[in-house]
Amino acid sequence: MTTPLPTGSTIGILGGGQLGRMLSVAASRLGFKTHIFEPGANPPAGDVAHAVTTAPYEDAAALKAFAASVDVITYEFENIPTSALDILEAINPIHPNREALRVSQDRLTEKTFLADLGLATAPFADITDAASLAEAIETIGTPSILKTRRFGYDGKGQSRLKSANDAEQALADMAGAPAILEGFVDFSLEVSVIAARSQDGQVSAYDPGENVHKDGILSTTTVPAKLPARLQTDAVLLAGRILNALDYVGVMGVELFVTPGQLIVNEIAPRVHNSGHWTQNGCAICQFEQHIRAVAGWPLGDGSRHSDVVMENLIGDDMDRVPDLAKDGSCALHLYGKTETKPGRKMGHVNRIVSA
């Protein structure tokens, strides 16, 4: 795609969760339509999209029809089967590109990619069996974390090792899936950088946000983060290096551990990111509009922050607090339209304006 998409064009989105929903809202503000491809019935994004295809990623005919109905394709989650991408990409461009998906879908591939760029990561080792785990523990030590190489999120697919005695149970927790052992990082805080890259190589990054997790799920993101100016600059430049190395188009989330000596890359996410939701009320151009601009071939917007914000995820029974939050004039509610409340399920978020 060499020219910007005109308004009225249709952007295809793989995945119909809350990220697809918010991408659709942002696209509509720019005059675009969205078409969601989602295996599950009645997805949150379906409430605000122009069209929805409900079909599995193994349905070649549905994929072809979907791809033919849109002008460009993007996605809201990483774990799209390669077979589906082969079909889609033969018909229309996919942004971010296949290389970004290949790298991010496998934790071992991702860690190796980052290390090859000269970026610091936690020590890691490929785990295939009990013997390789025992060898890795001798090298990396404990405490450490055994993770599935693919498909883990929000703390799922992980097992902590406090000592070598936990190895047998940790390996059992992987249920035979390929795994990676990651060493423990003694960090003072976790931050994330939300950054975007356009089709012509322009890069724009938002201010780093400070993240707090509870039970493996992001609880809050506070902006600005408690980072010295030097590390703020380092974090943004680091994110830019990753985007450029991947020839990336779109928004990416880069999670970092802050240690006394350096920033350590925890993981990358080739999509709009939960820790970037604060941009909806802290910036003129939020991460969702920025992503739509990038994949549509438009120039990127200004990612400058005009307000300090605390983003809080509303998880499970936190929805009971919505009536009180709605009375607070400093709170901007973003609810996802999910009909069933479950423990650990992200139901929405609230952006609290701290100052302007």
- pLDDT, one tens digit per residue, over 198-213 is 999 999 999 999 999 9
Q: 209 and 336, same structural domain? A: yes
Cβ atoms within 10 Å of 66's Cβ, excluding its own? 25
Q: Looking at the structure, do residues 179 and 326 belong to the same domain, yes or no?
A: no
Range of the domain at 90: 10-94
Same domain, 26 and 161: no
Residue 100 lies in a domain: no
Asked if residue 44 has a cis previous peptide bond (ω within 30° of 0), the answer is: no
CATH assignment at residue 130: 3.30.1490.20
Report residue 241 as tokens. Answer: 């290096």
Q: Quick one: 66 and 149 in the same domain?
A: no
294 in the same domain as 254: yes
- Residue 7 pLDDT: 97
Position 204 in a domain = yes
For residues 251 and 303, state if they share a domain. Answer: yes
Structure tokens at 36: 């969601």
Same domain for 75 and 39: yes
What parts of the chain have a pLDDT lower than 50? none
pLDDT of 96 reads 97
Let me know whether 196 and 323 are in one domain: yes
**pLDDT of res. 33:** 98
Q: Is 99 a domain residue?
A: no
Query: In this predicted structure, what is the pLDDT of residue 127?
Result: 94
CA dist 209 and 163 (Å) reads 32
- Domain membership of residue 2 (yes or no) is no
> Which of 55, 76, 94 marks a domain boundary?
94
Cα separation, 45 vs 27, in Å, equals 12
In this structure, are 236 and 160 located in the same domain?
Answer: no
Residue 106 inside a domain? The answer is: no
222 plus 311 within the same structural domain: yes
- Same domain for 143 and 207, yes or no, is no
Q: Who contacts 150 (Cβ-Cβ below 8 Å, separation ≥6)?
A: 79, 105, 106, 107, 177, 178
Read off the tokens for 189: 């805080």
Which domain CATH number covers 263? 3.30.470.20
Helix (H, G, I), strand (E, B) or coil at 113: helix
**Domain assignment present for 105:** no
Residue finishing a domain among 143, 158, 183: 183
Predicted local distance difference test score (pLDDT) of residue 355: 76
Residue type, 162: K
- Supply the angle between the helices 287-295 and 18-29 in degrees, to the nearest 10: 70
Q: Which two tokens stand for residue 133?
A: 């785990």
Inside any domain, residue 85: yes
CATH number for position 49: 3.40.50.20
* Predicted pLDDT of residue 155: 58
The total of structural domains in the chain comes to 3
d(C-alpha 29, C-alpha 288), whole Å: 11
Residue 1: inside a domain, yes or no?
Answer: no
The last residue of a domain, from among 78, 94, 110: 94
- Using a 10 angstrom Cβ sphere, with 0-12 exposed, 13-18 middle and 19 or more buried, the burial of residue 259 is middle
Pair (282, 301) in one structural domain: yes
